Amino acid sequence: MTHPRPGGWFITFEGIDGAGKSTHLPALAQALQAQGRVVLQTREPGGTPLAERLRELLLHEPMDPLCEALLMFAARRDHWQRAIEPALAAGQVVLCDRFTDATFAYQGHGRGFDLGVLDTLERWVQTDAQGRLRQPDLTLWFDVPPAVAAQRLAAVRTPDRFEAEPLAFFERVRAGYAARASAAPERIVRIDATRPLPQVWAEVESVCRARGVLA
């Protein structure tokens, strides 16, 4: 049997809007808590009072792509320093609904923002006191075609500034996630999220067991 390591795990949930991330994140939190782990459930943009205020602007105020990218990273820096790093240092499991892969997918591939600049901002924001660039330990990429995701979301809520983008935008975002997954296959695991919920959850559990996140 595998045992969770004593230090913290940093696990991120990614995918286009409506893929199913927010459905599975609390389920994994519950499974981990049942095994005695302390779990921080959080999200981006957001996760601290300041970052939640930036989220409101990002989701609802019109702005140009540079402003959008800078605000995403500003929110991330606050979230990173005040919430994620302390939780990991305390040995907690951090489950984060979106992180920097989303910036590469949405701002980079979706909006066409310079990927090299995003690399630089990522290094500025996520480098620890020892000079190491910190990445998630595991990223679950919930992959669905944009038409499926749009159908799911249409049934449940009024679209925000991102969700109101056309299908072609989400095709580019999805391609962005695929590119990130090809570049980091050991970290980013693709989950076919078009299947019924119980099957998707079974794969989440199985990946987490295989990685030693779940015992």
* 44 forms part of the interface with ligand LXEULUCI (CB under 6 A): yes
Among 10, 17, 28, 75, binds ligand ATP (CB under 6 A): 17
Task: Name the residue nearer to ligand ATP (CB basis): 123 or 157.
Answer: 157
Residue 12 CA to residue 100 CA, distance in Å, equals: 9
16 is in an annotated binding site: yes
- Residue 43 C-beta: closest distance to ligand LXEULUCI, Å: 5
196 secondary structure, DSSP code: -
* 125 forms part of the interface with ligand ATP (CB under 6 A): no
For every residue of 109-132, which 3-state class applies, written as one string? Answer: HHCCCCHHHHHHHHHHHHECCCCC
Which residue has 């927010």 as its token pair? Answer: 22
Cα distances from 198 to residues 106, 163, 193, 201, in angstroms, run: 28, 25, 10, 5
Among 98, 109, 180, 190, binds ligand LXEULUCI (CB under 6 A): 98
* 17 forms part of the interface with ligand LXEULUCI (CB under 6 A): yes
Instruction: Give the CA-trace dihedral at 135, 138, 142, 143, to 10 degrees.
Output: 70
Task: Name the residue nearer to ligand LXEULUCI (CB basis): 54 or 88.
Answer: 54
Query: Vertex 138, ends 69 and 52: CA angle to 5°?
Result: 40
User: Which residues between 21 and 50 bind ligand ATP (CB under 6 A)?
Assistant: 21-23
User: Which residues between 159 and 188 bind ligand LXEULUCI (CB under 6 A)?
Assistant: 162-163
Q: Which residues are annotated as a binding site for ATP?
A: 15-22
Instruction: Indicate the annotated binding residues.
Output: 15-22
